[in-house]
Structures are given as structure tokens and as C-alpha cells.
Structure 1
Amino acid sequence: MPQNDVVLTRKGRLGKILLNRPKALNALTHGMSLSIEAALREWADDGGVEAVVIRQAGDRAFCAGGDVRQFPEKGAAFMHQYWRDEYRLNALIRRYPKPYIAFVDGIVMGGGVGVSVHGSHRIVTEHVAFAMPETAIGLVPDVGASYVLPRMPGEIGLFLGLTGTRLGTADAMAVGFGTHHLLRADLDHVEEELANATDGIDAVLDRYRQAAAPAPILARRSEIDRHFGQPTLRDLVRSLAEDTSDFATATGAALATRSPTALALTFRLMREGRRKSFEDCVRMEWNIVSRMDEHSDFAEGIRALIVEKDNKPRWNPSRLDVVDEATVARYFEPAAGPPLDLN
């Protein structure tokens, strides 16, 4: 890993993590996960570090997700180790003993959600674009998403997990991804005050906090709940097909582009995540992703959307009504090999 993919520094009373791959939208490499984990463990025991800030280089993205482009060529062993180490980092952030403050300014997806949403403070700017778009590449929302999404209002989390819909600032705040809305222009000033001020973190953030705005997604909640509250995925798709509204038509069209197998896995994952602990949700995700090398849709999704970018994935199977329920169930069985270590 190039030394500057992630820059780890001390600044006053802060430990600072800078995601530094702006040309790659700060996509998270395996080496970056390991470096961030090592720094967090060191700072947890350092009395001079009172809080951690993670932010980005560049204006376009906080972190657009895991760097999955090379997964197919690097093979199953690499993919499995990547996910093991990433999930351990996510768990560390969730239980971190000091304030962990993410400055999320721009695109945040997948692995970027994993290194932000589990922290104590999630600052979103007017440029934030939050999404979990994994079904578009034949994967499932992971990095703890099966715990986070089902705890959003109503069926919004399932809607987001299946469709990959992007949320702006007001929506990101309304669903609980963001804890504070600040302006991009204020972030450097906020960092300086957090590093050097004697008052508390919340007092600093409150000085710059912007007023809440109406959230468009909440205006759609009744429609979302009606369709995405159906007992099965096929009932959900049928409900959308029978509704001639613009929302239902657009949502049905979005689902039609996703991997049918990934949709089936995600539906069950989100339903089961409602009643599980964070750790059990991550282990459930691990059971699924550890089998992704066996499922052609993931490699095909990477090819079509990330590598060749023809946006014409050839899903197998190509229709939801022929997805085998026994195959879906097998993904939820305990993974082979050593148990997932989240400590």
C-alpha cells in the first residue's frame, strides 16, 4: 500500500485519520483498513488522544466503498481476508472507548459507511450522498448494514438496501446516518476547535450545527412502508407492479436492474437483522460474503459496473422468480473455516 493512501497524525488532543485516495474516491483498500485499525488501537491507550477524527482528501467523496475492483483476480483467499479485517475494524469503531467523529462530505457508500456510521459522531455536510448500492454488483449491504438499516424508520432501511437509493443531507439526518449537519466551509474550523478548545466536543459541534430541513424520504414513508412491508420479496415486487404511481414505477424499474440473487439475500438479511445484535448481524453478513466467490453475480457485477463499465450485467439467474430458496438458505449457514474474530 502506498504510504499516503491513509495519513495518520496527531493534532492537539485529536488522533486524525485522512483518507487520501481522492482520485479513487477514497475507496478503502485492505492496507488502509489495517493501518486505521492499528492507529485506533494505539490511540485508545494514549492518554493524550481524547478523540479521533476521520475525514477525506478531496471534495467528491468521503469514501465510495471498498476497493473491490481487483477482487476477482486476487481470488477467494484475498477477498475473505479483506472482509475479515474490515469487519473487525467496523466492530472496533462501534465499541471505541473515545469519541470517534466522522466528517462525511460527499459520497459515502459501502465500506465508507462502515468507517463512519458506527462512530459516536457523524457529521454530514450539504454535499453528502449516502447509499448502500451493493445489490447493483451482486453483493449484499454489509459492514454492519444489516444492523443499521433495519433500525431506520419503518421500512426505509429495506428500501435503501434493496434499491441502493442515494440520500442527501436532510434524508441522511432523518434516517439516523448523520448526527450533526455542518457546512463544508466550516469543517477546518471545527477540526481546529476540536483539537485545541477546552470545551467539549458537543459544544463545539453545536456552535456550527445547521437547522434541520424537511426530509423528502419521510414524505415517501407511507408508500415505502406499504410496499416494502410485504411479507415476501415476491409480494413486494408484485405490490410495486400493481401500483401505477411514479414512485412505484421507478422503484420497480430500479429493482429490475439488480441481481435477483442479491435481492433475495438482502431481503432476508434485513428481516433477520431486526432482531439480532450488532455482532450477530456482522457474523450473518460474513456467512454470506464468504460464499461470494461461489456466486457468479458478484464477479459479473464488478465486471459490468466497475471494470468494463458497460452497465449490462448478465445475472444468473436473471429472474427473481427462479431464484432457488434452498440456495438462499445455504448462504445463511455458518461459514467454513475459523470463526469471524471481531475483537
Structure 2
Amino acid sequence: MNRTLELWCKVSLINGIVMGGGAGLSMNSMFRVVTENTVFAMPEGQIGLFPDVGASYFLSRLSGSFGEYLGLTGARLDGSEMLACGLASHFVLSNDLLLLENALSEVASSDALTISRVISGFSSKISLKKDSAFRRLETINKCFSKGTVEEILSTLENEVVNGDNKWIVHAISSMKSASPTSLKIFLKLIREGRTKELKDCLIQDYTIVCHLIRRTFNMDFIEGSRAKLFEKDKQPKWEPSKLELVSDEMVDQYFQKVDDADWEYLQLPERANIAKIWQSKL
């Protein structure tokens, strides 16, 4: 049982939509196997939240500013794009997943090299779509490496006139419909996330989410959920309503301890003990 738990803690099989919590569970596995059915996105800004669950860790490790692009726009990636950008480690056709699962169940070791060899035996080659945003990494780096969300948006708008702009138009539209506060929170998070360990990113995510749920500083998460998930009028009223009204000081507040005597920072177990904790619950 211990070996099986250790093995499956290392391998995520992603055959479908992976967003939010699903991304948090799978993207931090050692091996992330995707298929032609896989769709990845982090669109939390559209509901007044932000890409959390450790996104500031795994997105900040991608090439250039591709992580900023994904987190600020909520853009979707297919399995091939996930493999190309580094979010996935292997691409396996969905028809071969059961065979892969059976092969992994027969592995007598949790050694990473052994597991990798087994998965590689089922891997297929990929082909990026011609209109894939990952093929536009140079432009993405140019735009999303800017220091502020306002500068990123302005640079994108300037790029529209250069043609080949379908993905840029979508990026602009998505950013303009998202919570301004959420965008600024995420940009600060991912920039800081590049120098942090996963544990620290998760602790920071928890703190910010607590502020949003408790409506400490604004109602954006509640309002976004109302407009996009429940009443579905798709017309959230963000507060503040514009990027320029969200100051650095306002953003910094979300990164501070919650002002409640009973509130505590997220406490995570040591990584070496996680398998034992899961074992006790089975």
C-alpha cells in the first residue's frame, strides 16, 4: 500500500478538463500525463478570485512570461500545448490510458526513472496547432513581462494592429472582463512566486482567499460568483471597477495576516509525512 500511494502521488493522469483544484492536485505531481481530451485553464479572475492552488509556483516556472499570460487571461490549453510549455510531462492517447494504468500498477518500484520509462513506453508525439498561443511566445514575453497590468494591457492593444491578432483580441477581452483587483493580486503573486517554494505559495494563496471569502476589502468574489455562476447575467460590478483605481497599497493588504484573533496561517505537514497521513485515512 505504501509503495502504491507513493507511486500515485507522483503520477497524475489528466484526461479532460483540469482547472482550479484539479490543477492544484495534478500540476504539482512529478509526472503529469495528458491526452488529446485534456483542457487546462486558470480563469478564476473572471469570478473575482485569482489563480490559486499553487499556480503562482507552477505557472511561474514556465518559459518567459507564459505563466503571466495564462493566469491573467484564463486562456485554455490543450494537451499538446501543455506538453510543449512544460505543464505536462507526457502525452498519451486516451485509448492507451487504461493500458498505462495497468502497466503502472505492475511497477515494483517508486523510482522516478522506472516510472518515467513505463510512461514513455505509451507516449505519443504531439503537433501544435498553427494558431497556438505558445507559438507566439516572443510576443507574449514582450507584452506580459511588463511591470504592471496596465502596461501589459496597453502593450497588447498596441500589438493588435500588427495582424495575427485573434489570440491577442481574446486576451484583451478576457482581461477587461476580469476583476481588476484579481488581476493585480495575481501579477504580484506570480512575480513573487518565482523565488518561493510551493509550500510558501500555498500559504500565501490561503491567506488571500480568506480575505476574499471574508470580504475584508471588497465583494468581488461574491459578486463574480453571482454574475458568472449563479444568476449568470455575466455583468459583474467590480469594486474598484478600473485597474487604475486599484493601488499597490490596496493589493498589498490581501497579502497580510487576517485581523482575527482566531485566524491562523495555513499549516502544512512535512512533505515526507503526506503518504503516511493518506495511509491512515484509507
Same structural fold, with TM-score higher than 0.5 when normalized by the shorter chain: yes
Residues 48 and 180 of structure 1: CA distance in aligned 2, closer, same or farther (over 3 Å): closer
Match 1:125 to one of 27, 35, 48: 35
CA-to-aligned-CA distance 1:36-77 (integer Å, 9 cap, x gap): xxxxxxx5xx3565622xxxxxxxxxxxxxxxxxxxxxxxxx
Aligned positions, number? 253
1:218, distance to aligned residue in structure 2 (A)? 2.8
Residues 235 and 124 of structure 1: CA distance in aligned 2, closer, same or farther (over 3 Å): same
| Aligned residue in 2 for 1:286 | 206
Between 1 and 2, higher relative CO (CA 8 Å, sep ≥ 6) is seen in: 2
The alignment partner of 1:51 has SS state of helix
1:299, distance to aligned residue in structure 2 (A)? 0.7
The alignment partner of 1:153 has SS state of coil
The alignment partner of 2:32 has SS state of strand
Give TM-score scaled by structure 2 length: 0.84
Instruction: Confirm or deny that 1:51 pairs with 2:7.
Output: yes
| 1:144-163 to 2 correspondences below 5 Å | 144-163=54-73
Instruction: Confirm or deny that 1:267 pairs with 2:187.
Output: yes
Q: Whole-Å Cα distance in 2 between the matches of residues 285 and 132 of structure 1?
A: 14
Match 2:118 to one of 177, 182, 204: 204
Question: Is 205-214 or 164-173 further displaced after alignment?
Answer: 205-214
Residues 47 and 255 of structure 1: CA distance in aligned 2, closer, same or farther (over 3 Å): closer
| Aligned residue in 2 for 1:221 | 137
Q: Whole-Å Cα distance in 1 between the matches of residues 119 and 192 of structure 2?
A: 35
Q: Whole-Å Cα distance in 1 between the matches of residues 252 and 116 of structure 2?
A: 44
Match 2:236 to one of 307, 313, 317: 313
The alignment partner of 2:59 has SS state of helix
Question: Is 238-247 or 174-183 further displaced after alignment?
Answer: 238-247
Q: Whole-Å Cα distance in 2 between the matches of residues 113 and 166 of structure 1?
A: 13
Instruction: Confirm or deny that 1:177 pairs with 2:91.
Output: no
Q: Which structure has the highest strand share of the two?
A: 1
Unpaired segments of 5 or more residues in structure 2?
Answer: 270-282
1:197, distance to aligned residue in structure 2 (A)? 5.1
Runs of 4+ in 1 over 6 A off after TM superposition: none
Unpaired segments of 5 or more residues in structure 1?
Answer: 1-42, 53-98
Alpha carbons 1:286, 1:335 under 8 Å: kept: no
| Aligned residue in 2 for 1:109 | 19
| Aligned residue in 2 for 1:164 | 74
Match 2:222 to one of 288, 299, 302: 299
CA-to-aligned-CA distance 1:210-268 (integer Å, 9 cap, x gap): 01323633311011111111122111122122232424333212211101111111111
